[in-house]
Amino acid sequence: MINSEKMLKHMAWANQEILSRVATLPDEALDAYVVNPEWTAREIVQHIVRSSHFYGYRLQMSSLEEVKEREEKRDAYLAAEKDLASSAEVLDFVKMLQIVDQTILNESYSGEGIVYREVDGKVIERARSTIIFQAIHHETEHRAQLVSALEARGYSTINLDDFDLWTFADRFGE
């Protein structure tokens, strides 16, 4: 059976490369958007990191009891989150994402199992693989959204083809 390791490593690499390039853009680039002004480049970067944290956080819990016990800690983390003020600060988000992407990779080695979540009193059960593959898909989707927002406002220095799986395989080997 094929495993998810290559895809997770590609995801982490593409995140690091693309967001590091965003950090070199002028601050006003963070206000770029395609159609919906609520989804600026700034918001997309924050969303990628916060969502990835959420996936990694959930993968580390093996029971509903643990979810309930740790939810307060997650709420405290979210309350302390910093908003992205400048392009240079994207590098701080890159560092956070590097840690979270490694957590997701590490959790993928644990194998299948159930991940629990409680929303509005309803327990939701997901396979670990669903969370892991959603993390990969989610980050890919939002990297494309980010680059599209930047391109729509004239910041066309990031070419997604430079960060595809072919390029990753050429650089790091099969």
At 102, which helix (H) or strand (E)? helix 90-108
Q: How far is CA 105 from CA 11, 25, 60, 139, 159, in A?
A: 10, 29, 11, 14, 25
* 4-14: pLDDT as tens digits: 999 999 999 99
Contacts of 42 (CB under 8 A, 6+ apart): 30, 31, 83, 84
Helix axes 41-59, 5-22, angle to 10 degrees: 150
Domain ranges, ordered by start, for the chain: 5-172
What phi and psi, each to the nearest 5 degrees, are found at residue 120?
50, 40
Euclidean distance between CA atoms 21 and 23, whole angstroms: 5
Task: Indicate the pLDDT class of residue 91, thresholds 50, 70 and 90.
Answer: very high
Question: Does the pLDDT of residue 2 top 80, yes or no?
Answer: no
Q: Which CATH topology does 5-172 take?
A: Four Helix Bundle (Hemerythrin (Met), subunit A) (1.20.120)
pLDDT score, position 83: 86
Task: Indicate the pLDDT class of residue 167, thresholds 50, 70 and 90.
Answer: very high
Q: Average pLDDT for residues 54-73, to the nearest whole number?
A: 79
Give the pTM. Answer: 0.91
pLDDT score, position 117: 83
Euclidean distance between CA atoms 84 and 101, whole angstroms: 19
Euclidean distance between CA atoms 48 and 139, whole angstroms: 6
